[in-house]
């Protein structure tokens, strides 16, 4: 199995011992053996041939992720890189990292809590210093990793909306970021066949899918590293203003602000991201559904603020 990485994220002469592959006619062909350096000439040659992505073996992904994390500050401060290129690197690296964490045993989250916080810090810094995140988040490559792309999008949109609407401390924004990043963690305990089913779920199937907030909340609470704010987001991001949500059927003032906002960004990301069974909607079409078919689901004040922020 191979994982996609961005060519822009590679700093010549610094890449650790991992082999690089290119996609040629649907096959992964070795480009650089792990014993050979990746040079500036290599990078320029690939750019000239319009290559934007390379691949590493899944077993090497942890090594690559740690390499990117250790070089991310330098990449973000590189004056030769365009702002959008920097954002693309940040968010695609975030997707790769989330995939590594979600695919590992739950205890690994506790072991890597500092890496989680560092990831959210980088996203928070970008949100607070850039004009917008929509282009970078829209360009994230799905490559059959919807859960991980979605998690990064929801975390970033949620942080962005909190920054725009409220005067919060960085610690509070960190809680929002961590909670929204892990909001769908419980889906790891739901059969994939249900999550990717193209047609309508049966009543029994939907009942099973609706258990994911509780699964995620229970698992993460037992780690004893998440704040009540973060855990509340995980458990209550499917509650609705009209009380028709789950798992607790909360309504209006009983739903925490951070959960209300994550509910909005969760649905928007889901509607505007490619899935195995449907194409992504435009942001305009997504908002039409959220204001129309889903009327009563969201806090209108926050929904209006989110709509305005997209423009």
Q: Considering just the CA atoms, what is the radius of gyration of the chain in Å? A: 20
Element of type H or E holding 44: helix 40-48
Stretch 110-137: mean pLDDT: 84
Q: Please determine, for residue 4, whether its predicted confidence score (pLDDT) is greater than 60.
A: yes
The pLDDT, as a whole number, for residue 143 is: 47
Contact between 7 and 46 (Cβ < 8 Å): yes
Cite the residue boundaries of each domain of the chain with CATH code 1.10.3210.10.
82-310
| Vertex 56 angle, CA 54 and 60, to 5° | 150
Closest CA to 296 of 235, 243, 238: 243
Contact between 268 and 158 (Cβ < 8 Å): no
Contact between 93 and 9 (Cβ < 8 Å): yes
For 82-310, which CATH superfamily applies?
Hypothetical protein af1432 (1.10.3210.10)
Token representation of residue 51: 């290559």
* Paired strand residues for 53: 6
Q: Could you report the per-residue pLDDT of 154-178, keeping only the tens digit for each?
A: 999 999 999 989 999 999 999 999 9
- The DSSP output letter for 260 is H
Say what the pTM is: 0.85
Q: Please determine, for residue 136, whether its predicted confidence score (pLDDT) is greater than 80.
A: no
Contact between 240 and 275 (Cβ < 8 Å): no
The pLDDT, as a whole number, for residue 141 is: 57
Stretch 74-88: mean pLDDT: 78
Stretch 271-290: mean pLDDT: 89
The pLDDT, as a whole number, for residue 16 is: 78
Stretch 56-85: mean pLDDT: 80
């Amino acid at each position: 199995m191979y994982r996609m990485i961005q060519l822009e994220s590679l700093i010549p002469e610094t890449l650790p011992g991992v082999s690089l592959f290119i996609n040629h006619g649907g096959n992964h062909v070795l480009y650089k053996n792990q014993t050979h350096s990746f040079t500036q000439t290599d990078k320029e040659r690939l750019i000239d041939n319009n290559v934007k992505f390379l691949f590493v073996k899944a077993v090497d992904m942890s090594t690559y992720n740690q390499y990117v994390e250790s070089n991310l500050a330098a990449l973000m401060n590189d004056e030769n890189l365009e702002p959008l290129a920097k954002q693309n690197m940040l968010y695609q690296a975030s997707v790769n990292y989330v995939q590594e964490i979600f695919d590992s045993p739950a205890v690994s989250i506790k072991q890597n809590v500092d890496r989680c916080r560092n990831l959210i810090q980088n996203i928070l810094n970008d949100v607070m210093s850039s004009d917008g995140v929509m282009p970078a988040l829209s360009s994230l490559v799905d490559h059959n990793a919807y859960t991980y792309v979605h998690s990064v999008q929801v975390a970033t949109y949620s942080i962005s909306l909190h920054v725009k609407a409220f005067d919060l401390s960085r610690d509070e924004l960190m809680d929002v970021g961590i909670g929204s990043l892990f909001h769908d963690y419980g889906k790891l305990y739901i059969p994939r066949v249900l999550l990717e089913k193209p047609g309508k779920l049966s009543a029994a199937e939907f009942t099973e899918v609706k258990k994911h907030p509780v699964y995620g909340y229970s698992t993460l609470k037992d780690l004893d590293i998440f704040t009540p704010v973060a855990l509340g987001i995980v458990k209550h991001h499917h509650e609705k203003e009209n009380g028709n949500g789950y798992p607790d059927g909360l309504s209006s003032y009983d739903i925490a602000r951070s959960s209300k906002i994550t509910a909005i960004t969760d649905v928007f990301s889901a509607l505007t991201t490619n899935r195995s069974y449907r194409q992504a909607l435009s942001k305009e079409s997504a908002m039409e559904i959220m204001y129309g078919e889903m009327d009563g689901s969201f806090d209108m004040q926050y929904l209006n603020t989110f709509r305005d922020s997209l423009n």
